[in-house]
Amino acid sequence: MKRAVYPGSFDPVTYGHLDVIRRASEIFDVLVISVLNNKTKTPLFSVEERVKILKEATKDIPNIQVDSFSGLLIHYAAENHIHVAVRGLRAITDFEYELQIAQTNRKLSDGRLDTMFLTTSLEYAYLSSSSVKEIASFGGDISQCVPDFVAELIYEKYRVGARE
């Protein structure tokens, strides 16, 4: 059984992530999407909310599991007997950052965790969770960026924020 992990913040999941998820799910027997619980950041959605959103957004793909992790990816991967991490590459600007993480993980894990990159489909190459949040925070249209139910949840966060 070939299993891989797709780690990330997914705050929120975008069509770019979902494109990588769908394509990786066709390569591996099981794809574990794991949300990083990063205590140094203040996310828009809690880890629990992001896990729930990812489960809903991927409910039609049978070989997906959604989970979360804290700490180092190499420790999480080892605990779960996973040897491949999947990441999406949108543009050359992602490359340096991703290369550094991939090489660090390979070195720290003594070669037990490798990284496989999927190049994001061109139609999603411009997408990022940060820009989706910025557009939504000013009431812009994010219907091309995230599924409708995710867009609603994002707008709701900013509506609640504005009332507080």
The residues annotated with a catalytic role in the active site are 17, 41, 90, 129
Among 14, 25, 58, 105, binds ligand PNS (CB under 6 A): 105
DSSP 8-state assignment for residue 90: -
> CA-CA-CA-CA torsion for 5, 8, 10, 15, nearest 10 degrees?
-60
What string marks each residue from 61 to 100 as x (binds ligand PNS by CB under 6 A) or -?
-----------xx---------------------------
Stretch touching ligand PNS by CB under 6 A, among 23-31, 45-53, 101-109, 155-163: 101-109
Residue 130 burial (10 A CB sphere; 0-12, 13-18, 19+)? exposed
7 binds ligand PNS (CB under 6 A): yes
The answer to whether 151 and 136 have CB atoms below 8 angstroms apart is: yes
Distance separating alpha carbons of residues 139 and 120, to the nearest angstrom: 26
Stretch touching ligand PNS by CB under 6 A, among 1-9, 42-50, 54-62, 147-155: 1-9
What string marks each residue from 117 to 156 as x (binds ligand PNS by CB under 6 A) or -?
----------------------------------------
- Measuring CA to CA, which residue among 75, 53, 64 is closest to residue 6? 64
Residue 69 makes CB contacts below 8 A (sequence gap 6+) with 7, 34, 35, 36, 37, 76
Among 4, 5, 9, 82, binds ligand PNS (CB under 6 A): 9
Residues near ligand PNS (CB under 6 A): 7-9, 36, 72-73, 101, 104-105
